[in-house]
Chain A
Amino acid sequence: MADLAAVVGIGQTKYQTKRKDVSIAGLVREAAFNALTDAGLTWDDIDAVVVGKAPDMFEGGIMPELYLTDALGCNGKPMLRVHTAGSVGGSTAIVAASYVQSGMFKRVLTVTYEKQSESNAMWALSNAQPFSPHLNAGAGGFFAPIIREYMRRTNAPYDVGIKVATKDRLHGARNPLAHLQLPNITLKEVEDSPMLWEPLRFLESCPSSDGACALVISNEELAAQSPKKPAWIRGAAMRSEPTMYAGREQVNPQAGIDCAKDVYKQAGITDPRKDLDCAEIYVPFSWYEPMWLENLGFADVGQGWKLTMEGATSLDEKGDIPWNCSGGVLSSNPIGASGMIRFAEAARQVRGDAGDHQVDGAKLAMGHAYGGGAQFFAMWVVGSEKA
């Protein structure tokens, strides 16, 4: 049986288009320092550091663990790095937590980041390879056909994505850290924005952001000494699927279904919509909200879009299961950090520390990340109570 572990410190940077004032290390350092401050700790209190970032070619820097040791106070400490494409922010948090749950370390600092203004993520994620044509698709071009298949299967109305895009930006306007601040956004404005990858419009896509997110994760004994309320890790799971098999179910990936079942079982959740108070789910393109509502068991297959259209996932419409109260990936997307931001924002909710995007009385929340061609999944459930 694993030991209990909890998030005792959360640090984020303000997400924005360009952070010209700092180096990449300076950006990462800022989030880490904010997390230590939030936890009432110093560098000396940390036993090990776990970093994660998007694939190396995105930023053109390899071995970030080597480059960042000075900035993250790793002198004399274990330091390691996690790779799982866009889900890396989530899996990095889970790896860090597992070191505490195993008893290996008592208190771990974990940090993820991306400085998209200095990166080339758009093209580096679909690089040319020998023996094949170069697709040059980018993420939107990759996911758009999968979304069209979802629309075909479910007969969902055309404007579900528009609703999600608007809702998440209204959520983001409540979060001062969110990159996009669009408090007056309208459905019409989203609908009128340029079509990028049918059916995804410009405003149905995530922005490119600079930012970093950090967590301090402690064991039960140290968490009890924490100045602020801990977010107890009630379950954590990761799953992967093969990349090259064209027969893979991509609209409703099996790895996502299995990962959710695993994490719900650990957390004692039988009905996620009812048992969870809110969720931070990786939705970089609008239509992934209804798709993941089904994949994660919040709705039956084919019914996810109805929750979205009914306002069930909206804070402003007082929905019963608000998704992405922070504004989500649609409001801020420093790719390497985006998964950890979901995990951190779930923890903020159960700590009662989410400011204007707080869900009243949230006790149980889920954080979710996916990556690659929707084939890497990382999820955790955090609670205000230990069990």
Chain B
Amino acid sequence: MSASAEVLSQAFTLGYTYTRSTGPVVGRFLTALRDRKIVGIKGSDGKVIVPPMEWDPVTAEALSDFVDLPDTGVVKSWAWVKHPRGKHPLDKPFAWAQIQFDGADIPMIHCVDAGDESAMKAGMRVKVRWAEETIGSINDIACFDPA
């Protein structure tokens, strides 16, 4: 066998720009957030899902039965973030939580500004804290406050 050649390696980064469209159902949810409102959708089994899904998770049929909901709900489960990092939604300790809006049957993940871990418990009531400026994004919900 001949003398082995040096095996070279080189780092490289690759990036492109893209666009995404929401479609009519998720689009309606996001534009409702811009108006500081919560919209869910009713599935074939009668369950209200937030954020709304475009197609029924059981039957795959198209869904269109939108339901207006209040901006209050209940924490179903949670995990405390002791040391938030730069990209986290809050710059102080907070909880990631599964929050079920009042009138909904399926929870949604968002964050709760509870101040201290001891304030968090499953079953606690929370209310949306709206962002100062709403633009049609999930971040229009700045976080949830204990209510």
Contact = CB atoms under 8 A, between A and B. Distances in A.
Interface of A: 19-26, 29, 43, 57, 59-60, 70-73, 75, 117-120, 123-124, 127-131
A3 to B, nearest CB: 27
A129 B12 contact: yes
A59 B57 CA distance: 25
B24 A131 contact: no
B10 interface: yes
B18 A119 contact: yes
Contacts of B14: 57, 127-128
Contacts of B8: 131
Contact of A71 (B11, B20, B55): B55
A124 B54 contact: no
B23 interface: yes
B9 to A, nearest CB: 8
- Going nearest first, the 8 A-B pairs with the smallest beta carbon separation are A73-B60, A23-B23, A130-B10, A60-B18, A118-B19, A120-B16, A43-B60, A26-B23
A60 B53 contact: no
Given A59-B18, A123-B16, A21 B60 contact: no
A75 B61 CA distance: 12
B57 A75 contact: yes
Contacts of A59: 18
Given A70-B57, A75-B60, A118-B18, 17 more contacts: A19-B21, A22-B21, A23-B20, A23-B21, A25-B23, A25-B54, A26-B24, A29-B55, A43-B59, A57-B14, A59-B18, A60-B16, A71-B54, A71-B55, A119-B18, A120-B18, A130-B10
B3 interface: no
Nearest to B61: A43
A70 B12 CA distance: 35
Interface of B: 8, 10-12, 14, 16-24, 26, 53-55, 57-61
Contacts of A127: 14
Contacts of B11: 130
B91 to A, nearest CB: 30
B54 A26 contact: yes
B21 A118 contact: yes
Contacts of B23: 21-23, 25-26
10 contacts: A21-B21, A24-B20, A25-B54, A70-B60, A71-B55, A73-B55, A75-B58, A118-B18, A123-B16, A130-B10
A70 B18 contact: no
Contacts of A118: 18-21
A377 to B, nearest CB: 27
A78 to B, nearest CB: 15
A23 B57 contact: no
Nearest to A118: B19
Contacts of B12: 128-130
Contacts of A123: 16
Contacts of B59: 43, 73
Contact of B16 (A23, A26, A29, A57): A57
Contacts of B60: 43, 70, 72-73, 75
Nearest to A72: B60
Contacts of B55: 29, 70-71, 73
Contacts of A71: 54-55
Contacts of B61: 43
Contacts of A22: 21, 23-24
A26 B20 CA distance: 12
A130 B17 CA distance: 21
Contact of A131 (B10, B16, B26, B54): B10
Given A43-B59, A70-B57, A124 B16 contact: yes
Contacts of A19: 21
Contacts of A24: 20-21
